Structure 1
Amino acid sequence: MDLYAVADFCLIPIGTGEPSVAEYIAECQRVLEKSGLKYKMHGYGTNLEGPWAAVSQAIHDCHAAVHAHGAPRVATDIRIGTRTDREIAPGTGNEGKVRRVEQILEKDAK
């Protein structure tokens, strides 16, 4: 059984000699678009979810693409969560986490 993974990763190109890494991050986003996985970029990383093997492969492919784009070094911070106590419908892992917190905050507002 391949675990369903809900991940957040921050890919960091190193040694580019440029103050902005936006071009390199755009290259990674192109890879994720082709992966077919659910993802959402944010200011300091990307949420990504799907089968563990596919998530790992997508992050690997981002590294390869960013190296091919000219970055001599790439570092990535990754947080991955899995659970087996309930079923997570594909593509709803990150949204479900956010929605649950929003529901709690809505109760506070009442």
Structure 2
Amino acid sequence: MKVNIDLGIVPIGTGVSLSKYIIACHEILDETGLEIKLHAFGTNIEGEWDEVMSAVKRCQEKVHEMGVPRILTTIKLATRTDREQAMSDKVESVLQRKAKGQQSQ
């Protein structure tokens, strides 16, 4: 099953900069070949359920290996059975409707 998730991993007790942890996770995500998109408050990931969840687990393990004793992780996820929909499709749909002045359909 395809899944789109919004992943936020927040190391606790490490100070204010999170960049090195984000970079470590993105190196893992890049290795997977999954579709990813970094944004200001997390990362969108798209792919097969098991592959995505395996990558999330690897990110959790990596951050712990970096000496972080506690992590707060948020995951929002979406699945569809009626059709495949990529992350880019969702964004493009909204932008097209906005351009046409449509608020709802």
Aligned to 1:12: 10
Deviation at 1:25, TM superposition (A): 1.0
Query: Aligned AA for 2:46?
Result: E
Distance 1:87 1:7 in 2: 14
Deviation at 1:69, TM superposition (A): 1.3
Aligned to 1:27, what secondary structure does the other structure show? Answer: helix
Aligned to 2:6, what secondary structure does the other structure show? Answer: strand
Count residues with an aligned counterpart. Answer: 102
| Counterpart check, 1:22 vs 2:19 | yes
| Counterpart check, 1:108 vs 2:101 | yes
| Counterpart check, 1:32 vs 2:32 | no
Distance 1:82 1:103 in 2: 22
Aligned to 2:74: 77
Query: Aligned AA for 1:99?
Result: E
Deviation at 1:86, TM superposition (A): 1.2
Q: Which runs of 5+ in 1 are unaligned?
A: none
Deviation at 1:36, TM superposition (A): 1.1
Among candidates 48, 53, 56, match of residue 50 of structure 2? 53
Deviations 1:38-61 (A, max 9, x none): 101111000001000111111100
Distance 1:48 1:30 in 2: 13
Query: Aligned AA for 2:47?
Result: G
Q: Which runs of 5+ in 2 are unaligned?
A: none
Deviations 1:54-104 (A, max 9, x none): 11111100001111112111111001100011134xxxx110100000010
Alpha-carbon contact 1:6-1:82 (below 8 Å) kept: yes
Identity %: 40
Distance 2:67 2:23 in 1: 13
Aligned to 2:91: 98
